[in-house]
Structure 1
């Protein structure tokens, strides 16, 4: 059975509290609700004393004590706070005025001194009284709260419609104008920072930067570029915000293409060959936008991305001169007998030949002396010789069929094409060829001219002749690296490619060939074959090797075979470069790298011996190996050289047949990977140093001549193998 006694007692307590409250309220409000009384009743009331009313609060349930209360489990923290809360309620109840208050009649009979003091109620007990209304003037004087300021627009009102269109175009189709992500991102940030205000137009009219950029793009041919690759939009026909926004982005696109190709080239060098390695130097699109759009001369700012080198600028001038010939007809030289001039000798007078073609020949070569003479004299022969030299022909001063054919080929067409591809190759080279710490010193080698020059402070310090690689697989690579040290008395460690392609086949035919050449055959620790030549006068590298480490494993060095330097064409090596005067070359470089050491050729030669000596450069010197078939000499004349590796023809074919943007992609080339051989031909063995037999050969130097491009003196046989010693200075 459920016990209802506890719940009933609680309910009865509540009823008693409600009843008491009702009686109290009724008693206090009764005088106010009593009807109007007679004078007799009032007199009786005045005679009977009435107790002074006390202002007591109405009873609450807390004033009634119940018989028992059900136990409850509460939070100790709440129990601790309960007394304080109850006390607060009592204080608030005591301070609160009576709900109805005493009647006016009662208040009149109560002495003033007995009136209870009224305390200010707590904030939670009653709402504060409403403030009186302020005068209108005071309300007007009070400041209103400041509203947040709107950012000031950077766009002129007349350009706002174009800016809106630019915002939409870049948001929806930016990749249609800028294929490269880095350029697209830079353009988006550039216009966003401007609130998409156009930079090339203002109120529909071209700005000064736009005029400068357009002028440079239209004159792109002056720098050997194709103006068709950088189209200029028709701003005159752009009359709506949509067409103006389209023209804006098209001009930005053409400007970016020009800057990129002017700096790095229309074609990447890997498109031409796998034996080219130049450092990359791409543009910074954000820097291009900032520089060109804020420059006082936007045309000059855009032109600054072309190569700054002196030789490039000279080619540009010659290109303008050749194009300035216009459509002037070329003087044709008819075919005929071979003409030659024989100078006078001790017992024989000079011999000249008469030919009716000579006046045309004089006009063609610019010989103004005796313009109508038909004599093929010394003056004409000298002019023919210079032409042959500039055209890459055998320069002998004899007018033969090949010379006539070269003269009849329009010079401006052939020379212009040659200049253009050479200007393109200049874009591959670093902007700074030298090192500032050494007075911008650097080495530059021109393969088709077979020359090497040392430059410092913008001037030539020293030059010499060189022998370069044979056309084909032994072509000397084009590269830029830094020379870090020189080795005097180098040991020649034969590269694996030469072991594979040259020495193993030679050993197969003649097991004694290495012995007769002064080469040593041994095995490395891994069992692979190692062939080397110790230092000495007969070493294939000569007395000095110039080291600039590179992936092609080529270097510059001396050679015991000096006769090749007397030839006009000197492409005979396996790719390395032989220097005619290595002691002078070494002294020149050492004085640049270490000027306090006072090196001379004599001092360098004093180090010759049988032990390697490494001379380290505190600051490496850049080495630039180039391919210049067109250049301007010190006299200001255009020089043309034979395209010995076919680079010009290959580049011209690419430029004429392939879209320029497709030529900028990098092409991966597989490099030959020669692992060191381990197997020797039959009849050849290794036992310490290879000594071989003393078998004879009908032509003992034919292999060496084939390998190094010329006859080789018989080397002295070393008496015994000495331990290799290397000294570093």
Structure 2
């Protein structure tokens, strides 16, 4: 080795006498001599100036410090052991690892010539990047000069200007992993082509040496990959669909994509090679999200198999009778995960009927084991329709994933369910009623402030005009029978007999209507207050018989809870003062308006999910009662708009 240090892991020819087959590789920071057979680095010449930082390799006038996580490690190259005393220096940071051969003047001349070519190419690429990115914000309105568009032009231009228009994706292996990440967006229900995946792959397949107008094509690839990664990060952080376009009441906190902050963070993430880790951290941590991802794979595979055929719907199936469609029904239940296997038996009953009952429960239907119109509707829901529903709801989870509390009451309006969650644990769930189609429950979140036992109900003006005033005019005795009191502007009780009911209308009816605590109070025995401008809250109801219905959109917007006293006990979480029996005792005392403040931070989250987790790891699919899925899917499928 001529006094040098033998390198570990090198091709055996490196330590033999005689000619050695080598090749020269040039990038924006180094001219490298590689073994042509095993591609190990033999020499490196830094061309980035007197000081440069590239990955984790720092080169200055005194030191060259390669690390395992640095540029060579990311390129899959192994390190020679460095003998600094044997190294020769040329300009900034040149080291010749000595083997049984030495550099000739001709070799040095060739290397310096390549250096000049590299510096020229670097300048050309920089000029192309500057021209292209400035065009986006000055002239192009997000359009690229040669066609196509960038979705985040302002952030992209800021990113490149911050790094003096140097190319961002110089590490080929890193760029390949980024392309793989963009392709993986498909698994989260997103479209890889929203992130330029097909165009990037077309450019990538040509490689640098084969690109026409090399610098322009390379600049285009660099900008598109930067834009694609930024947009993918944004969609994973807060969803592709802007929820405020569909629900103006939506007020969940979402990440703010500040231009300068995002540009700096992307620079750091590229240098640290941590973008895949960032995306993984942004992916919602809720188990529900991963259940939907798994279901999405399943139904995509089922759709691709072509094995799904609609069941005939002309016969209502009742237990104990024979029908030709029963074997096909059993096969459908196998496809949907409700039966392990199907057989030829035409008699409807046994395991098939049991599976139908579970299917009905999971889909919010009346659980009677009878297969009629509603059951057929969900049984014939195609795999493609289920895929669409899952994609929409995966995005809805991304909307709120950055605003999750340690303790929360989550109301799924479409599923008529309330979930009490603490940490990662589902403590309890109960059925609820929600607003009708005409008076929909809004989507928003607020902090739970207090509980009130034996509450009064101050009737909203909208309900007075829509419901109560016509009843009062028709029969004034209804006011006393339902325990209402009327208050004037001074707060004094008004005798209903003093009102001119014949001419009463909302324009001349200034009274505040308050229903007093009693067993038929519209709010029942307890209400859960999270003050908001919509007068929406959780509460008990005297109409408990309606919980027997599978579809429970009956309220004027508030959420009626099936087991409110049990919920109160769980929330107060004090077995000494607020056991269930003590809660019931307060209610039975009929003492009005017993208010108990919340001592913990619990958020109420009203959401709308047409898929949700069922027992045994399956997914429930709910009727889209408010018709919100179709507009969300249309935006999800449309190309992204520039911002």
Partner-residue secondary structure (3-state), 1:610: coil
- State the match for 1:101 in structure 2: none
**Which consecutive unaligned segments of at least 5 residues does structure 1 have?**
1-149, 342-351, 435-439, 665-729
**Among residues 363, 376, 386, which one is paired with 1:415 in the alignment?**
386
**Change beyond 3 A, Cα 1:611–1:369:** closer
Report if aligned partners of 1:332, 1:360 keep a CA contact under 8 Å in 2: no
State the distance in 2 between where 1:622 and 1:404 align. Answer: 38
Matched, 1:167 2:167: no
**Change beyond 3 A, Cα 1:256–1:353:** same
State the distance in 2 between where 1:308 and 1:389 align. Answer: 27
Offset at 1:623?
1.0
Q: How does 1:35-114 map to 2 (within 5 A)?
A: none
State the distance in 2 between where 1:296 and 1:181 align. Answer: 23
**Change beyond 3 A, Cα 1:324–1:581:** same
**Among residues 393, 413, 424, which one is paired with 1:458 in the alignment?**
424
Matched, 1:254 2:231: no
Offset at 1:531?
0.7
Offset at 1:621?
1.0
Matched, 1:604 2:591: no
**Change beyond 3 A, Cα 1:185–1:398:** closer
**Change beyond 3 A, Cα 1:260–1:558:** same
**Change beyond 3 A, Cα 1:195–1:328:** same
- State the match for 2:330 in structure 1: 362
**Change beyond 3 A, Cα 1:259–1:528:** same
Partner-residue secondary structure (3-state), 1:572: strand
**Which consecutive unaligned segments of at least 5 residues does structure 2 have?**
1-48, 55-117, 144-148, 492-508
Report if aligned partners of 2:450, 2:595 keep a CA contact under 8 Å in 1: yes
Report if aligned partners of 1:166, 1:245 keep a CA contact under 8 Å in 2: yes
**Among residues 271, 275, 279, which one is paired with 1:294 in the alignment?**
271
Matched, 1:544 2:512: no
Offset at 1:419?
0.7
State the distance in 2 between where 1:487 and 1:549 align. Answer: 13
Partner-residue secondary structure (3-state), 1:463: strand
**Change beyond 3 A, Cα 1:361–1:501:** closer
- State the match for 1:191 in structure 2: 160
- State the match for 1:281 in structure 2: 255
Matched, 1:643 2:643: no
Q: How does 1:681-696 map to 2 (within 5 A)?
A: none
Q: How does 1:543-692 map to 2 (within 5 A)?
A: 543-591=525-573, 599-608=578-587, 609-656=590-637, 658-661=638-641
Q: How does 1:77-476 map to 2 (within 5 A)?
A: 152=51, 157=119, 159-174=122-137, 176=140, 186-201=155-170, 206-232=171-197, 233=200, 234-235=203-204, 236=206, 238=211, 240-284=214-258, 285-286=262-263, 288-290=265-267, 292-325=269-302, 326-334=304-312, 337-341=315-319, 352-366=320-334, 367=339, 371-400=343-372, 403-404=375-376, 406-410=378-382, 412-434=383-405, 440-472=406-438, 474-476=439-441
**Change beyond 3 A, Cα 1:227–1:370:** closer
Offset at 1:361?
2.6
> How many residues were matched structurally?
489
State the distance in 2 between where 1:487 and 1:334 align. Answer: 52
- State the match for 2:442 in structure 1: 477
- State the match for 1:486 in structure 2: 451
Partner-residue secondary structure (3-state), 1:271: helix
Offset at 1:248?
1.2
Larger gyration radius, structure 1 or structure 2: 1
Offset at 1:471?
1.6
State the distance in 2 between where 1:492 and 1:368 align. Answer: 51
Partner-residue secondary structure (3-state), 1:251: helix
- Measured on the aligned residues, the alpha-carbon RMSD in Å equals 3.1
State the distance in 1 between where 2:550 and 2:630 align. Answer: 22
Report if aligned partners of 1:584, 1:601 keep a CA contact under 8 Å in 2: yes
State the distance in 1 between where 2:134 and 2:415 align. Answer: 53
**Change beyond 3 A, Cα 1:186–1:328:** closer
Report if aligned partners of 1:209, 1:292 keep a CA contact under 8 Å in 2: no
Report if aligned partners of 1:217, 1:255 keep a CA contact under 8 Å in 2: yes
- TM-score, structure 2 length as denominator? 0.69
**Change beyond 3 A, Cα 1:337–1:154:** closer
Report if aligned partners of 2:151, 2:231 keep a CA contact under 8 Å in 1: no
**Change beyond 3 A, Cα 1:426–1:654:** same
State the distance in 1 between where 2:404 and 2:231 align. Answer: 25
**Change beyond 3 A, Cα 1:598–1:163:** farther
1:528-560 deviation digits (Å, cap 9, x = unpaired): 321112233332212211111122110011222
- State the match for 2:486 in structure 1: 521
State the distance in 1 between where 2:361 and 2:312 align. Answer: 21
Offset at 1:332?
4.6
Partner-residue secondary structure (3-state), 2:343: coil
